């Protein structure tokens, strides 16, 4: 009889240690997963019985509050609309090198590829020149057809050429900007390109380059004062 009971007792004596072991495991798990445990408590819906701030209010008061709220919504949305562009505008996505031309109502007229800044730091002696498309909201300040490009110093530095004087004719380039250019301030422009194959890639010195047909449509759609959103 005793011989049969021994293994049974052994199993029992080992099995009883499961209880403290479970306590230990649960304690450790709780420390590691506190947020999860807390979050699990929320599965019991209505546990907290959060009472409404409107509880006990009369129907008349609720109606008045609702009316007031509707008026506020209309007024706030009107104020948001006033901030939106009143003319057609363009949105430039520098991450994907894409543009979206939209009408004043915000509906898309045309989407397509463009090229934006190459995010490059040109180091020349002590000079540091950053080629990057600025982000934010800009305004078309000027529109020009067949605008010559007055090459800045960095264009010569990048080509390994000596920098000519400020009024030198060497600075004038009639081809690079394409047929149309729209200035958005600080020397940045939306313009054409000789390198149509690079459209969709970040290759510019900060300007936004567009394909010929897209550029023509943008030139004809946007006017002075139109907004340019770059993100």
Partner 1 sequence: MNNKLVFWIVTAVLGVCFCYILTSTVILPVFTKSVLPKVVVHTVEEKDKNTKSSKNADDSAEASTTSSSKESVDKLIELKKKEFLAQSRLALATEDSNYLVLDLSSKLAIIELKGVVLHEAKIIQLTLSNSIKHHNSEVLTNWASEPFSVKNIEATIPKIVFFEKIAPKDTLEANKMAQEPKITKQGDVLVIMDFHRNLRLIISQSELPDPEGLKAITELRESYSKQEVSRSLDAITHLNREPIKPQIEIVVSKSDATILYKSLPLNPRMILKF
Residues from 39 through 68 that contact partner 1 (CB under 8 A): 39-45, 47-48, 50, 52-66, 68
Binding of partner 1 by 17 (CB under 8 A): yes
Per CB under 8 A, the segment of 74-82, 167-175, 177-185, 208-216 that binds partner 1 is 74-82
Number of residues that bind partner 1 (CB under 8 A): 85
CA atoms within 13 A on the CB side of 193: 22
Residue 32 touching partner 1 (CB under 8 A): yes
**Cα–Cα distance, 84 to 90 (Å, whole number):** 12
Q: To the nearest whole angstrom, how small is the minimum distance from the Cβ of residue 1 to partner 1?
A: 22
In terms of Cβ atoms closer than 10 Å to its own Cβ (0-12, 13-18, 19+), residue 129 is: middle
Q: Are 189 and 205 in contact (CB under 8 A)?
A: no
Q: Which helix (H) or strand (E) holds 2?
A: helix 2-15
Between residue 192 and residue 211, which ones bind partner 1 under the rule CB under 8 A? 198, 201-203
Crossing angle (nearest 10°) for helices 18-32 and 34-41: 90
| Interaction mask 116-155, partner 1, x per CB under 8 A | --xxxxxxxx-x--x-x--xxx------------------
CA distances from 141 to 23, 104, 111 (A): 72, 18, 22
Residue listed under structure tokens 């919504």: 73
Considering the complex, state which of residue 8 and residue 47 has its C-beta at the smaller distance from partner 1: 47
In the complex, minimum distance from the CB of residue 42 to partner 1, in angstroms, rounded to a whole number: 4
Site track 87-116 with partner 1 (rule: CB under 8 A), x = hit: --x-x-x-xx---------x----------
DSSP state of 169: G
Minimum CB distance to partner 1 smaller for 95 or for 165: 95
Of positions 5, 86, 109, 161, contacts partner 1 by CB under 8 A: 161
Where does residue 83 rank: exposed (0-12), middle (13-18), buried (19+ CB within 10 A)? exposed
**Selected range binding partner 1 among 4-12, 35-43, 163-171, 185-193, rule: CB under 8 A:** 35-43
């Amino acid at each position: 009889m005793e011989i049969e009971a021994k293994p049974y007792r052994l199993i029992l004596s080992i099995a009883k240690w499961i209880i403290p072991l479970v306590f230990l495991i649960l304690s450790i798990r709780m420390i590691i997963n506190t947020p999860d445990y807390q979050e699990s408590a929320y599965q019991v819906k209505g546990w907290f019985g959060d009472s409404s701030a409107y509880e006990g209010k009369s129907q008349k008061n609720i109606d008045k509050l609702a009316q007031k709220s509707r008026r506020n919504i209309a007024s706030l949305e009107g104020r948001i609309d006033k901030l939106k562009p009143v003319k057609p505008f363009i949105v430039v996505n520098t991450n994907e090198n894409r543009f979206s031309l939209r009408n004043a109502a915000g509906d898309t007229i045309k989407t397509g590829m463009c090229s934006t800044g190459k995010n490059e730091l040109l180091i020349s002696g002590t000079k540091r020149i950053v080629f990057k498309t600025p982000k934010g909201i800009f305004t078309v300040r000027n529109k020009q057809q067949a605008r010559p490009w007055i090459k800045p110093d960095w264009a010569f530095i990048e080509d390994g050429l000596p920098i000519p004087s400020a009024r030198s004719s060497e600075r004038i380039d009639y081809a690079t900007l394409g047929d149309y250019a729209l200035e958005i301030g600080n020397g940045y422009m939306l313009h054409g390109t000789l390198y149509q194959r690079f459209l969709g890639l970040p290759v510019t010195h900060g300007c936004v380059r567009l394909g010929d047909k897209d550029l023509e449509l943008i030139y004809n759609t946007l006017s002075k004062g139109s907004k340019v959103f770059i993100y």
